[in-house]
């Protein structure tokens, strides 16, 4: 790494842990029992878990619902899709891999050019078959930040007797989002995307909804998810949730950073998803003619961390299924990187990022000019 403090602009991959969350984790690491044990250390651990459950409930606006703690959002998404029995999965084409892979036989609903789910196509997909469906639509996309019309999705789903699951991993803490008000059936959350520790997540579900556990043995989480609870992780999740809930109203600060970044690049960059409302912190943009891989490596040498698509596809950087679904042609899609800000982002980060981006652009443009001259 460079001598200057590195700059982190990849919050949609993971966020640095908030000091309050780290403190909660450390406190829980130092001597608590197993929450299922009936003795005092066990009860103390149980209380930590239940306090965190309240904080998560409150962040998600899910006072009427149950919170099932999981090892993370991938598990929560799998649990939602596999745990609701006998329903036909209907997914948007831009869902996270952990939703798509959990329901390989699902009907995929396309998105429009602006990145939002095609509601007419959803209606048609639901009207098609007699078997009731489980619709899964994310609240906001992890790559482009495009906000999905979840309320409209729920309204359509209700007309066809479908349940709705919403992967709210990227949206929670960044959007005013309420499980109860949206009348959702299931919602997935991740701790490490909101400044909590990795290794904790939650599936929120409507009370009374039957869910088949995918991990069995031991009656934890009301028999919906066996295994000793990750008490420190859950404690950190709770602390992060409490802070994140207070920041939704101040999210414009991140929009200011993001907008300044995009404005400084002007016509040099092609920004994706701008035709629809986006998360305030996310910018998915192409440097035409320069492969995403080249860009992220160049920025890394400058000590700036950005993302190329989703961080999850382990190994290679593949063409984004999200940009493809929006009809963005390959050369441009392959030149897209993701810049995402978060709770610890500073004004200076934007200036340095702009400088780095423009420097790379000039260099590549210069090389191209030399090549064509030669």
For other proteins, the closer CB: 105 or 373: 105
Q: Which of 9, 54, 166, 312 is catalytic?
A: 312
For other proteins, the closer CB: 61 or 307: 307
Is residue 226 a contact point for other proteins (CB under 8 A)? yes
* 230-249 positions binding other proteins, by CB under 8 A: 230-233
For other proteins, the closer CB: 63 or 216: 216
Which of 66, 143, 221, 229: binder of other proteins (CB under 8 A)? 229
* 45-64 positions binding other proteins, by CB under 8 A: none
Q: Alpha-carbon distance 123 to 45, whole Å? A: 46
* 133-152 positions binding other proteins, by CB under 8 A: none
Catalytic residue list contains 312:
yes
β-strand pairing of 133-136 with 163-167: parallel
Is residue 336 a contact point for other proteins (CB under 8 A)? no
Give the Cβ contact number of residue 272 at 10 Å. 27
Q: Which stretch binds other proteins (CB under 8 A): 221-229, 248-256, 257-265, 360-368?
A: 221-229
Treating both helix axes as pointing N-terminal to C-terminal, what angle do 119-128 and 150-159 enclose, rounded to 10 degrees? 20
Q: Alpha-carbon distance 11 to 281, whole Å? A: 9
Measuring CA to CA, how many Å separate 319 from each of 53, 63, 82? 38, 40, 27
Q: Which stretch binds other proteins (CB under 8 A): 123-131, 176-184, 191-199, 277-285?
A: 191-199
β-strand pairing of 336-340 with 282-286: antiparallel
Which of 48, 60, 61, 72: binder of other proteins (CB under 8 A)? 72
Least Å distance, CB 128 to other proteins, is: 26
Which of 132, 149, 227, 277: binder of other proteins (CB under 8 A)? 227
**Which ranges in the chain belong to alpha helices (H)?**
19-29, 40-59, 73-83, 97-100, 119-128, 150-159, 179-182, 220-223, 231-247, 252-265, 292-301, 321-325, 330-333, 347-373
Least Å distance, CB 22 to other proteins, is: 5
* 276-295 positions binding other proteins, by CB under 8 A: 293
Query: Measuring CA to CA, which residue among 128, 153, 123, 124 is closest to residue 138?
Result: 153
Is residue 75 a contact point for other proteins (CB under 8 A)? yes
By annotation, the residues acting in catalysis are: 312
């Amino acid at each position: 790494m460079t001598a200057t403090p590195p700059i982190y602009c990849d919050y949609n991959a993971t966020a640095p842990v908030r000091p309050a969350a780290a403190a909660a984790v450390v406190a829980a690491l130092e001597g608590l029992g197993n929450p299922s044990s009936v003795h005092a250390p066990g009860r103390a651990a149980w209380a930590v878990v239940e306090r965190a459950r309240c904080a998560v409930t409150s962040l998600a606006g899910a006072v009427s619902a149950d919170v099932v703690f999981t090892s993370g959002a991938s598990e929560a998404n799998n649990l939602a899709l596999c745990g609701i029995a006998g329903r036909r999965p209907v997914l948007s084409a831009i869902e996270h891999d952990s939703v798509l892979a959990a329901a390989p036989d699902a009907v995929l609903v396309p998105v429009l050019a602006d990145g939002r789910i095609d509601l007419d196509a959803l209606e048609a997909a639901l009207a098609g078959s007699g078997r009731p469906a489980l619709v899964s639509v994310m609240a906001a996309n992890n790559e482009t930040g495009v906000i999905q019309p979840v309320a409209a999705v729920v309204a359509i789903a209700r007309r066809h007797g479908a349940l709705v699951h919403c992967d709210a991993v990227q949206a929670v803490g960044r959007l005013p989002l309420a499980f109860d008000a949206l009348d959702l059936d299931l919602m997935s959350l991740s701790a490490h995307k909101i400044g909590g520790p990795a290794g904790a997540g939650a599936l929120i579900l409507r009370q009374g909804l039957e869910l088949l556990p995918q991990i069995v043995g031991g009656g934890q989480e009301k028999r919906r998810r066996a295994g000793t609870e990750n008490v420190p992780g859950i404690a950190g999740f709770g602390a992060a949730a409490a802070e994140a809930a207070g920041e939704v109203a101040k999210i414009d600060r991140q929009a200011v950073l993001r907008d300044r970044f995009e404005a400084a690049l002007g016509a040099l960059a092609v920004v994706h998803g701008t035709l629809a409302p986006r998360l305030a912190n996310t910018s998915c943009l192409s440097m035409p003619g320069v492969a995403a891989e080249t860009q992220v490596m160049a920025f890394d040498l400058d000590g700036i961390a950005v993302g190329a698509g989703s961080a999850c596809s382990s190994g290679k950087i593949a063409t984004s299924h999200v940009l493809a679904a929006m009809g963005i042609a390959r050369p441009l899609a392959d030149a897209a990187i993701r810049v995402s800000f978060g709770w610890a982002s500073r004004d200076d980060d934007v200036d340095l990022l702009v400088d780095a981006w423009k420097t790379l652009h000039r260099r590549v443009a210069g090389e191209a000019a030399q090549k064509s001259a030669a």
